[in-house]
Amino acid sequence: MERDMKFATKCVRAAEKPDPIFGAHTTPIFQTSTFIFENTEQGAARFAGEESGYVYARIPPNTPTHAVLAEKFAELEGGEAGQTFASGMAAITAISLTALKQGDHLISTDVIYGCTYSLFSQILPGLGIDVSFVDTSKIENVKQAFKPETKMVFLESPANPTLTVCDIAEIAAIAKEKGALCVVDNTFATPYFQRPLELGADLSLSSCTKYIGGHADLLGGVVAGSKAFINRMSAVVGYTGGIMGPHEAWLCIRGLKTLHVRMERHAENAMKVAKFLESRPDVEWVRYPGLSSHPQYELARKQMSGFSGMLSFEIRGGIEAGRRLIDNVKLCSLAVSLGATDTLIQHPASMTHACVPCAVRKKVGITDGLVRLSVGIEDSEDIITDLKQALKAV
Ligand code: LCS
């Protein structure tokens, strides 16, 4: 029946099960590390995977609170199953360790979150995994990057922080033909605006720290995909242990209940702010997938149902002017992370992407003057007034 629900109803209702003991309306927080077996036979059957149920909170399905979040997220993404993690990075690590082994090759989008870039460029090669960073917004580049050993294609669309968009359906089809897994980091768009699995990708993941939690008060990650892959990944999850806490899982369930409402406001505000910035003569350029000036505007319109709340821009005067702008905002918070109710502003070249070598940043368009804005759900007029006064102070 849940498959037939509309997205908003799924946000509120999917996977929620009334508490059978006391009738609690909300999903309880199972703050426990372990579960009692009725007898040794049951314990052995659970460990052998012959009987479903809970064993120990590190081992999937972790706890009933985690299971509700995983199922709810899978419902929203249109996947068969889900798995929660301690952070987005724990999720990306577990996917990589499940899909790749020594001698394999990974194709990754060249514009990605800084720590994902570092995981792929520093940690995976040490395990004997070859990585190619490719401008995936150009299909020819993707086709040329395939090798016989290519086992996974990792996409981030829209990408952090340039908002570059790549054609998920086309790349997923190429990956399928070549026998490689197609994974999409859907953190910026969320399943409300983009559903990679429906476009043909194998896995869709989100850092819950962002829009899923939504309130900048937790760390978490979640993956949706086929039952077969999620089951395969459970060994890596259990053996490496990057597990979300039960309280965080509960906060994410609560966050998802308002995802559709928050995302509408994030996108509405971001469009207004993007248009305001684009109208200013002191702004050099603005990147927002909802603006017709975005290089992949038509593609974004095709594969996304809305453009979310992230944008980047550069003001005339480059890095120095950008720094002065950031130091002069009063309402916007100078902080990394994104997807919060509050508007956050930051400088990727010296913060979120400082770990990406300067030459790579230049090549992929993360200029020194690029300012990233995560537009919150305050009144858009107040956000624009703040940016206006900060631009005046530059
Ligand atoms: N994927 C994307 C697209 C991200 O932006 C981030 C974090 C992650 C994965 C990792 O998620 P985490 O482990 O933090 O839950 N992005 C951040 C950012 O832009 N500022 O601070 C963190």
List, in order, residues 6 or more apart from 309 with CB less than 8 Å away.
211, 263, 266, 267, 269, 270, 338, 339, 374, 375, 376
The best mutation among 93, 95, 160, 184 to test binding of ligand 1, ranked by most ligand atoms within 8 Å of the C-beta, falls on 160
Is 185 known to be catalytic? yes
Instruction: Report d(CA 287, CA 273) in Å as an integer.
Output: 11
Confidence of residue 331 (pLDDT cuts 50, 70, 90): very high
Is 58 known to be catalytic? yes
Confidence of residue 226 (pLDDT cuts 50, 70, 90): very high
The best mutation among 155, 188, 209 to test binding of ligand 1, ranked by most ligand atoms within 8 Å of the C-beta, falls on 209
Q: What is the pLDDT of residue 124?
A: 98
| 3-state DSSP assignment of residue 34 | strand
Contact 193, 212 (CB under 8 A): no
CA 348 to ligand 1: nearest atom? 19
Closest CA to ligand 1's atom 11: 88
What CATH class is the domain 2-256?
A: alpha beta
Residues 231-271 pLDDT 10s:
999 999 999 999 999 999 999 999 999 999 999 999 999 99
Residues 148-189 pLDDT 10s:
999 999 999 999 999 999 999 999 999 999 999 999 999 999
- Closest CA relative to residue 311, chosen from 328, 341, 332, 289: 289
Closest CA to ligand 1's atom 16: 337
Instruction: Report d(CA 109, CA 111) in Å as an integer.
Output: 6
Ligand 1 center–CA 352 separation, angstroms: 8
Residues 274-295 pLDDT 10s:
999 999 999 999 999 999 999 9
Beginning with the edge strand found earlier in the chain, give each strand of the sheet holding 333-334 in spatial order. Answer: 283-287, 310-315, 371-374, 344-346, 333-334
Q: What letter represents residue 337's amino acid?
A: S
Confidence of residue 2 (pLDDT cuts 50, 70, 90): low
Is 210 known to be catalytic? yes
Contact 256, 286 (CB under 8 A): no
Half-sphere exposure of 288 (CA within 13 A, CB side): 30
Contact 393, 385 (CB under 8 A): no
Mean pLDDT of the chain: 97
Q: What is the pLDDT of residue 14?
A: 97
Assign residue 371 a region (left: φ > 0; alpha: ψ between -120 and 50; beta: otherwise): beta
Q: What is the pLDDT of residue 17?
A: 87
Q: What is the pLDDT of residue 45?
A: 98
CA 159 to ligand 1: nearest atom? 3
1-5, 16-20, 300-304 — most confident range: 300-304
What residues are in contact with ligand 1 under a 6 Å CB criterion?
87-89, 113, 116, 156, 160, 185, 187, 207, 209, 219, 221, 336-338, 352
Q: At what angle do helices 259-278 and 246-257 cross, to 10 degrees?
A: 70
Q: What is the pLDDT of residue 4?
A: 86
Domain boundaries, the chain: 2-256, 259-392
Specify the CATH number of the domain 259-392. 3.90.1150.10
Confidence of residue 127 (pLDDT cuts 50, 70, 90): very high
Name the burial class of residue 304, with classes exposed (0-12), middle (13-18) and buried (19+) by CB atoms within 10 angstroms of its CB.
Answer: buried
Is 110 known to be catalytic? no
CA 161 to ligand 1: nearest atom? 19
Reply yes or no on whether the pLDDT at 144 is more than 60: yes
Ligand 1 center–CA 207 separation, angstroms: 6
Tell me the pairing of strands 105-109 and 130-134. parallel
| 3-state DSSP assignment of residue 104 | coil
> Is the pTM value of this prediction over 0.75?
yes
Ligand 1 center–CA 44 separation, angstroms: 39
Q: What is the pLDDT of residue 292?
A: 98
The best mutation among 187, 205, 223, 350 to test binding of ligand 1, ranked by most ligand atoms within 8 Å of the C-beta, falls on 187
E-strand ranges in the chain read: 81-85, 105-109, 130-134, 150-156, 181-185, 203-207, 221-225, 283-287, 310-315, 333-334, 344-346, 371-374
Closest CA to ligand 1's atom 10: 88
Residue of 113, 192, 211, 288 marked active site = 113
Reply yes or no on whether the pLDDT at 3 is more than 90: no
- Number of helical H runs and strand E runs in the chain: 15, 12
Reply yes or no on whether the pLDDT at 222 is more than 80: yes
- Cα-to-chain-centroid distance, residue 339: 10
Instruction: Report d(CA 111, CA 308) in Å as an integer.
Output: 18
Ligand 1 center–CA 220 separation, angstroms: 10
List, in order, residues 6 or more apart from 40 with CB less than 8 Å away.
none
